[in-house]
Structure 1
Amino acid sequence: MELSAGNVWMMVCAALVLLMTPGLAFFYGGMTRAKAVLNMMMMSFAAAGVVGVVWVLWGYSMSGGGEGLGGLVADPFTAFGLGSLVGTSDLISVGYGATFAIITVALISGAIADRAKFSAWLTFAPIWVTLVYVPIAYWVWGGGLLGADGAIGSWAGQAIDFAGGTVVHINAGVAGLVLAVIIGKRRGFGKDPSQRPHNIPLVMIGAALLWFGWFGFNGGAASSAEQAGLIWINTLAAPAAAMLAWIGIERLRDGHPTSLGAASGVVAGLVAITPACANVSPVGAIVLGFVAGVAAALAVGLKYRWGYDDSLDVVGVHLVAGLVGTLALGFLALPGEDTAGGLFYGGGLAQLGTQSVAVVVCMGYTAVMTAIIGLAIHKTLGMRISEDAEDTGIDLTEHAETGYEFGGLGTTGSFVPHPATSSHLPQHTIEGAQS
């Protein structure tokens, strides 16, 4: 069979999306303490290893590669091991789907940075991707519960989620919140200045790689050149607007825009445009990105007010911006073959209702299942490292390595960045560190 342009495009996009996971490792790694950078990066790389194997064996089959089992999940044995697909071009879309599953699992790790046992993470990842990610992917994209003919979608309507607002970002954000609550706060949470990001240039490199790869993330499933062009422009416009919104909030709230805020704003805008990239106008993408940037910039401070330790703001960025992007389609969706459009285009409130149902179903399922999985592992294997290990540094205690060897930096973790390098701590904490 001759290799078509569409096949080549999807292969390139799959490679771009796979690059996003190492990009996330840089992004997250720079945001941790110096003595936890390697562990943080290893959690992303381990997600690729674990999920890559699961996807080949049964993950793809369960997510839509076979006949559905009551609309809940597809038959895991339909294409088990993918042997039946050898010699077909279907393997290209299988690989593309694998990259989405990988980065979804990797995203969760940021919520439990600095304090989770690596063995517990390796246990959690295959169970969670099998019991949580795969079913939701099937419901939204594989014709399951939330599909047009599904038990829920048939009466509520099929929600718009082109590239993963519910499947990836809301899913990962809720899971991260649940695990953060189960595993508990870091020692000195909200007070210890050493918990601020230790390497902002690494964060910026990671954000750049994520933005680059996101064009494949959003554009890989484009069905025409016209649609691909719209997706490309929207994937440029939304994060650009979100970045400006985030640093604008920082300027008004803290008196200075930060590099960390710019990088986080870019990611928030990318998250928000993910479900909507093919269904809003470029101006709509700018509006969506701006709203997401403001909402996420404000949301990252909620962990200090509500007392949950979401180390790297998975909840504030991915859950909140994912909600903004998914629900905003009820207002901004362009009219099309499958939708009358959002409220601002004369479509009424129907699309907003459909989007809301999908959000509630996915959040509820993810919260319950993640709690069951997380508590089971926490009660048996234990998910958290000891206090001594946390003080020493998780890189040394879990991996016998250090990220830096400058004057004992790797072993003591004593390096403290300038307080102005982070906008994610409350201002009173920054001022206390400066004094």
Structure 2
Amino acid sequence: MDTGNTAWVLASSAMVLLMTPGLAFFYGGMVRAKSVLNMLMMNFICIAVVSVAWVLYGWSVGFGNANDAHGNGFWGTFAQWGMHGVDTGIKPGSHLALYGSSGVPIFAVACFQLMFAIITPALISGAIADRTKFVGWAVYVAGWVTLVYFPIAHWVFSPNGFINAKLHVMDFAGGTAVEINSGAGALACALVVGKRIGFRKDPMRPHNVPLVMLGAGLLWFGWFGFNAGSALTSAGQASVVFLNTQIAACTAVFGWLAAEKAQHGTFTTVGAASGAVAGLVAITAACGSVSPTGALFVGLIAGFVCCYAVNLKHRFDFDDSLDVVGVHLIGGIVGTLCIGLFAAPAEVAGFSNGARVGLFYGGGFDQLGAQAEGGGIILVYSFVLSFALAKLVHATVGLRVSAEAEITGVDQTEHAETAYDWGGLAGTLHRAAVSFGGAASARPAPAPFSASYEDFEP
């Protein structure tokens, strides 16, 4: 056992888990005030649902035959259900079983990969914000990770997975399995659930931009564990990946703001946050294949392209509430394809990355073709299964709230709560007005305060 590597993987696992609450804040600030708690809950329930499924059978399906040189390339095994048999059964000392040649215990890798499984369906929630039935969403998440994520995780991350071992697609930290996968699922869900009432007619601006920035910051922090932790080592490779992640996020901010200025004539705070996330999405697949200079271009391209891609929902008339398709699907595709362009030789990248040299380093189109093939397979599989599952849940449990509940607000109708105590705020404003006027003032008392949620939108 390598205790240094193990400590880094466990720390990275905690950082990746923090990304899901960060995503909840990022999405929560973007929705209307009457839906923010529902959005937070849609993300948090993913932690509970996916963790239970992962221990019961998710690890077994995704990584159960990882140490078997002749394992199945499409599916793991059910033999390790409940984490049994990761050594020769649950017994004293079984926690010492190591994952391949990493020197890291299998249980540590299982914890790390669990956090990936949690955040992937959570990303989908942004596409169906403001109108989703909580119970239906929880059922959908359980079915989605079972039928979509766990098999794809095996294809991409397991040493035996066919996309990894047969097609030789390079995906260091989940640009295909997490980003393209969730983006395709988001598109499918948005089509099944349908458009929000008032879409393209009523203002549906973010209700709390500081909350968006807080969420973006937490996501940015956690992404270092997401990418650099995937090295399963605290040595030099993780250092280069860490730097690549930072560079791509920063240049993506420039790319997004430039595109935003060209389209709308302004630089927005939400745009800066979205640009950083787009860069992090794109570099996820490529962080272990490109040099720091290559990462600079990956982020710049992703930020610019994704800013324009969020307009796809208006062109094709589908309601992706928080631009999951434009950022995660398109950003994931950009990052995956950029490997075929910028994959660097070891003397340039700083370490041996296992990829064939990219087009811009004289490697031809081989790696680019493999990246396109692998990304396309995952996109199609995820979209078809996600669409069919969403249809099934929508027809049985129900995936969308009623029109009345949507207008009233899903926070009240689904959770019997509100994020903001408007009554308390009214009392505070009333007391402040009276105090300002003074007891002996002749000015009339202020009228009773009343407001709707929409009155507090920008």
Global fold match (TM > 0.5): yes
Q: Report what 2:79 is aligned to.
A: 77
Give the conservation status (yes or no) of the 8 Å contact 1:57–1:80.
Answer: yes
Distance 1:3 1:288, change over 3 A: closer
Over alpha carbons, which structure has the higher Rg? 2
Residue 200 (structure 1) aligned with residue 209 (structure 2): yes
1:341-420 correspondence runs (5 A): 341-407=357-423, 412-418=452-458
Q: Report what 2:55 is aligned to.
A: 56
Which of the numbers 306, 319, 324 marks the counterpart of 2:334? 324
Report Cα offsets for 1:315-353 as digits up to 9, x if no partner. Answer: 000000100000111100112553331001111100001
- Residue 10 of structure 2 aligns to which amino acid in structure 1? M
Report Cα offsets for 1:359-389 as digits up to 9, x if no partner. Answer: 1110111011111111111111221100000
Q: Report what 1:210 is aligned to.
A: 219
Give the conservation status (yes or no) of the 8 Å contact 1:396–1:411.
Answer: no
Q: Report what 1:140 is aligned to.
A: 156
Distance 1:11 1:144 in 2: 24
Which of the numbers 261, 277, 281 marks the counterpart of 1:271? 281
Distance 2:403 2:313 in 1: 21
Give the conservation status (yes or no) of the 8 Å contact 1:300–1:316.
Answer: yes
Residue 296 (structure 1) aligned with residue 295 (structure 2): no
Displacement of 1:394 in angstroms is: 0.2
Distance 1:197 1:162 in 2: 33
Displacement of 1:415 in angstroms is: 2.9
Give the conservation status (yes or no) of the 8 Å contact 2:59–2:83.
Answer: no
Q: Report what 2:438 is aligned to.
A: none
Distance 1:70 1:375 in 2: 30
Distance 2:226 2:188 in 1: 26
Q: Report what 1:425 is aligned to.
A: none
Displacement of 1:417 in angstroms is: 3.0
- Residue 18 of structure 2 aligns to which amino acid in structure 1? L
Distance 2:419 2:393 in 1: 28
Q: Report what 2:128 is aligned to.
A: 112
Distance 2:355 2:375 in 1: 18
Flag structure 2 segments of 5+ consecutive residues without an equivalent: 97-104, 347-351, 426-449
Distance 2:184 2:451 in 1: 34
Give the conservation status (yes or no) of the 8 Å contact 2:4–2:234.
Answer: no
1:76-225 correspondence runs (5 A): 76-82=78-84, 84=89, 86-88=94-96, 89-142=105-158, 143-148=160-165, 153=166, 157-193=167-203, 195-222=204-231, 223=233, 225=235
Give the conservation status (yes or no) of the 8 Å contact 2:60–2:77.
Answer: yes
Give the conservation status (yes or no) of the 8 Å contact 1:392–1:411.
Answer: no
- Residue 290 of structure 1 aligns to which amino acid in structure 2? L
Distance 1:34 1:168, change over 3 A: same
Displacement of 1:3 in angstroms is: 6.5
Q: Report what 2:433 is aligned to.
A: none
- Residue 309 of structure 2 aligns to which amino acid in structure 1? A
Displacement of 1:93 in angstroms is: 0.6
SS in 2 for 1:189: coil
Displacement of 1:406 in angstroms is: 2.2
Displacement of 1:140 in angstroms is: 1.1
Range with greater deviation from structure 2 (337-346 or 293-302): 337-346
- Residue 145 of structure 1 aligns to which amino acid in structure 2? F
Displacement of 1:221 in angstroms is: 2.4
Distance 1:347 1:69 in 2: 31
Distance 2:451 2:164 in 1: 52
Distance 2:216 2:48 in 1: 22
Report Cα offsets for 1:211-248 as digits up to 9, x if no partner. Answer: 00000000112246221111111111001000111112
SS in 2 for 1:221: helix
- Residue 306 of structure 1 aligns to which amino acid in structure 2? F
SS in 1 for 2:130: coil
Distance 2:306 2:192 in 1: 23
- Residue 127 of structure 2 aligns to which amino acid in structure 1? A
Q: Report what 2:26 is aligned to.
A: 27
The RMSD of aligned alpha carbons is: 1.8
Q: Report what 1:241 is aligned to.
A: 251
Flag structure 1 segments of 5+ consecutive residues without an equivalent: 419-435
Q: Report what 1:428 is aligned to.
A: none
Distance 1:112 1:161 in 2: 27
1:332-347 correspondence runs (5 A): 332-336=342-346, 338-347=354-363
Give the conservation status (yes or no) of the 8 Å contact 2:8–2:229.
Answer: yes
Range with greater deviation from structure 2 (404-413 or 22-31): 404-413
Displacement of 1:278 in angstroms is: 1.3
Displacement of 1:413 in angstroms is: 2.0
Distance 2:364 2:187 in 1: 33
Distance 2:273 2:296 in 1: 17
Q: Report what 1:311 is aligned to.
A: 321
Q: Percent identity?
A: 50
Range with greater deviation from structure 2 (375-384 or 181-190): 375-384
Q: Report what 1:40 is aligned to.
A: 39
Range with greater deviation from structure 2 (256-265 or 60-69): 60-69
- Residue 80 of structure 2 aligns to which amino acid in structure 1? T
Distance 2:420 2:7 in 1: 40
Displacement of 1:87 in angstroms is: 2.6
Distance 2:164 2:241 in 1: 22
Distance 1:54 1:371, change over 3 A: same
| Number of residue-to-residue matches in the alignment | 409
- Residue 201 of structure 1 aligns to which amino acid in structure 2? P
Give the conservation status (yes or no) of the 8 Å contact 2:131–2:401.
Answer: yes
